[in-house]
């Protein structure tokens, strides 16, 4: 479903991603872990061209993203993204946040979009918050709305960029439960996270990045019990 070949990215003189090659299958749930500054977020952001790769190719469902002929807006509609700091639109109600893109970008009728939004809100447990403004919500509630907003576009792929890092500890669980539910529904997902326990339980594959390299790619059981690289072993020692 996603094919990444020889992906590199440099900011000025710093090489943030060094020749990453991998592929993600349909329905696969990938957890990206590694020390900060290892390039996890940059890698994720390359997948919907929030960052433009310096070299290499990325194809999603057979569409080459860096090809100048590609309608990137269209590709992005099929890839949902959830940010560490939510980035809800503060001047819109929860309902408008969710229906904005389906109505304005995909041309779904307002009625249909609202029905769908209410359904998604029940799914993330916030059915009663439709008419609230984001400023009235807790962090965990905001992040669940952000997930619903992405899902409203009916994407094939969901990208999560440290979705629980900005949350108070007691709110982490409610968000992770929503993500876990999504994983079980068969969504293709890539999640940058520091929640090792969650990664172990929910992911099909762990990517361990360090200094811009994809150092290890393994099933959770194998990675957490028998890390192959010395660097990963040291990292796990520090976080577990």
Contact residues: other proteins, CB under 8 A? 48, 50, 68-69, 71-74, 76-77, 79-81, 83, 85, 87-92, 100-101, 104-105, 133-135, 146, 149-150, 153
Given the complex with other proteins, which of 45 and 231 has the nearer CB atom?
45
- Least distance in Å: CB of 125 to other proteins? 22
Min separation Cβ 77 and other proteins, Å = 4
DSSP, residue by residue, the chain: -EEEEEEEEEETTEEEEEEEEEEE-TT-EEEEE-STTSSHHHHHHHTTTSS--SEEEEEETTEETTSTTS-HHHHHHTEEEE-TT----TTS-HHHHHHHHHHHTS---HHHHHHHHHHHHHHTT-GGGTT--GGGS-HHHHHHHHHHHHHTT--SEEEEESTTTTS-HHHHHHHHHHHHHHHHTT-EEEEE-S-HHHHHHH-SEEEEEETTEEEEEE-HHHHHHS-SSHHHHHHHHHH-
Kindly tell me which of 162 and 210 has the beta carbon lying closer to other proteins: 162
Q: Least CB distance from residue 169 to other proteins, whole Å?
A: 23
Q: How far is the CB of 70 from other proteins (least distance, A)?
A: 8
Q: CB of residue 223 vs other proteins: minimum separation in angstroms?
A: 29
Q: Which is nearer to other proteins, 104 or 119 (CB)?
A: 104
Choose between 133 and 224: whose C-beta lies nearer to other proteins: 133
Cβ proximity to other proteins: between 150 and 164 the closer is: 150
């Amino acid at each position: 479903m996603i094919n990444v070949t020889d992906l590199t990215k440099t900011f000025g003189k710093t090489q943030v991603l060094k020749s990453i090659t991998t592929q993600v299958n349909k329905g696969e749930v990938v957890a990206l872990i590694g020390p900060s500054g290892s390039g996890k977020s940059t890698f994720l952001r390359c997948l919907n061209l929030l960052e433009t790769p310096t070299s290499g190719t990325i194809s999603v469902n057979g569409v080459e993203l860096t090809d100048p002929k590609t309608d990137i807006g269209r590709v992005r509609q099929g890839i949902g993204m959830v940010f560490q700091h939510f980035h809800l639109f503060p001047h819109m109600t929860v309902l408008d946040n969710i229906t904005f893109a389906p109505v304005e970008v995909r041309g779904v009728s307002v009625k249909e979009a609202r029905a769908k939004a209410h359904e998604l809100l029940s799914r993330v447990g916030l059915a009663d918050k439709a008419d609230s403004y984001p400023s009235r919500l807790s962090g965990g509630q905001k992040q669940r709305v952000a997930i619903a907003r992405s899902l409203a576009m009916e994407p094939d792929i969901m990208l999560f960029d440290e979705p629980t890092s900005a949350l108070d500890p007691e709110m982490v669980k409610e968000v992770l439960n929503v993500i876990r539910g999504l994983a079980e529904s068969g969504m293709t997902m890539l999640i940058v996270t520091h929640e090792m326990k969650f990664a172990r339980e929910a992911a099909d594959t762990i990517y361990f990045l360090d200094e811009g390299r994809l150092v290890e790619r393994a099933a959770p059981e194998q990675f957490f019990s028998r890390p192959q690289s010395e660097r990963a072993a040291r990292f796990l020692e520090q976080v577990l």
